[in-house]
């Protein structure tokens, strides 16, 4: 009885998340342009330097962060909840880019081990349990000595504290999107057991922590 209640609640939350992004992409299409984000350019150099050849991008959107890796000889696979975003990615970047349609909460989508994972603009949109699962699932899909990199919005963002407080440092805003704002402490708490070795800052439209982890067995 209780299990059924929680499964139903979980499924409706995923549906609401999918609808929010589906509507956003239908309405605003390529809303961040077609150029890669600043963090992507930095991580492309980092991956090339470490001879990374096969990467996974959870929450790939319409693919603006994929091409720069592909141009550097890196194979890219994505995961994306919005079908409209996937169609936009196909339009701009062709069928060569494989994207699984679904929620990252359903990872893994394949049994491949990737030597790099780049998760831009996603982890902070999830709740605590979903963040924990995403981070662990990414770590599990990394090959030995592989790197995973996440961007996470910081508490210095202008939007920190705006909207409705849902839980500590998590707010509902912008017509329904929920955002968890990270600090050094919560980064350590959530990434500390999955090879965390470096946190730097990068400023895009918001200030982001750039979180790097390495899988050493
Ligand atoms: C802030 S956007 C960033 C998009 C992309 N990384 C970029 O920078 O262009 C978040 C992306 O994650 C996707 N997304 C949100 N929740 C998701 C989930 N649970 N599973 C898979 N993708 C999700 C959204 O549809 C959207 O494309």
CATH number at residue 95: 3.40.50.150
CA atoms of 27 and 62, how far apart (whole Å):
13
> Do strands 177-180 and 170-173 pair parallel, antiparallel, or not at all (unpaired)?
antiparallel
Domain count, the chain: 1
CA atoms of 11 and 26, how far apart (whole Å):
22
pLDDT in the model for residue 5? 59
CA atoms of 190 and 166, how far apart (whole Å):
19
Residue segments in the chain with a per-residue pLDDT below the cut of 70? 1-11
pLDDT in the model for residue 134? 98
C-beta of residue 202 within 8 angstroms of C-beta of residue 139: no
Instruction: Give the predicted TM-score (pTM) of the model.
Output: 0.95
Cβ(179) – ligand 1 distance below 6 Å: no
CB burial readout 147-168, b (16+ within 10 A) else e:
bbbbbbbbeebeebeebeeeee
What residues contact 5, with CB distance under 8 A and at least 6 apart?
none
For residue 175, report the distance from its CA to the centre of ligand 1, in Å. Answer: 16
pLDDT in the model for residue 13? 72
β-bridge mates for residue 117, sequence order: 56, 148
What residues contact 52, with CB distance under 8 A and at least 6 apart?
74, 115, 116, 146, 147
Give the position, in ligand 1's atom list, of the atom nearest the Cα of 62.
9
For residue 61, report the distance from its CA to the centre of ligand 1, in Å. Answer: 5
Helix (H, G, I), strand (E, B) or coil at 50: coil
pLDDT in the model for residue 164? 96
For residue 80, what are the domain limits? Answer: 2-214
Helix (H, G, I), strand (E, B) or coil at 203: strand
Cβ(151) – ligand 1 distance below 6 Å: no
pLDDT in the model for residue 14? 76
Cβ(76) – ligand 1 distance below 6 Å: no
Cβ(88) – ligand 1 distance below 6 Å: no
pLDDT in the model for residue 15? 81
Cβ(86) – ligand 1 distance below 6 Å: no
Cβ(40) – ligand 1 distance below 6 Å: no
Give the position, in ligand 1's atom list, of the atom nearest the Cα of 40.
8
Residue with CA closest to ligand 1 atom 19: 103
pLDDT in the model for residue 179? 97
Cβ(120) – ligand 1 distance below 6 Å: yes
């Amino acid at each position: 009885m209780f299990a059924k209640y929680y499964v139903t609640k979980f499924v409706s939350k995923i549906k609401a998340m999918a609808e929010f992004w589906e509507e956003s992409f239908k309405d605003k299409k390529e809303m961040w342009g077609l150029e890669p984000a600043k963090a992507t350019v930095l991580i492309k150099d980092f991956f090339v330097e470490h001879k990374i050849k096969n990467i996974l991008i959870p929450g790939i959107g319409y693919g603006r962060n994929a091409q720069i890796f592909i141009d550097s000889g890196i194979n890219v696979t994505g995961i994306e909840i919005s079908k409209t975003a996937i169609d936009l990615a196909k339009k701009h970047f062709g069928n060569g880019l494989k994207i699984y349609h679904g929620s990252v909460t359903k990872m893994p989508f394949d049994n491949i081990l990737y030597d790099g994972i780049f998760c831009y603009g996603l982890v902070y949109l999830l709740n605590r349990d979903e963040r924990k699962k995403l981070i662990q699932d990414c770590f599990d899909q990394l090959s030995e000595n592989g790197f995973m990199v996440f961007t996470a919005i910081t508490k210095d963002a202008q939007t920190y504290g705006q909207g409705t407080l849902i839980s500590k440092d998590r707010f509902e805003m912008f017509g329904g999107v929920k955002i968890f704002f990270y600090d050094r402490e919560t980064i350590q708490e959530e990434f500390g057991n999955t090879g965390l070795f470096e946190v730097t800052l990068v400023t895009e439209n918001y200030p982001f922590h750039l979180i790097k982890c390495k899988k050493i067995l």
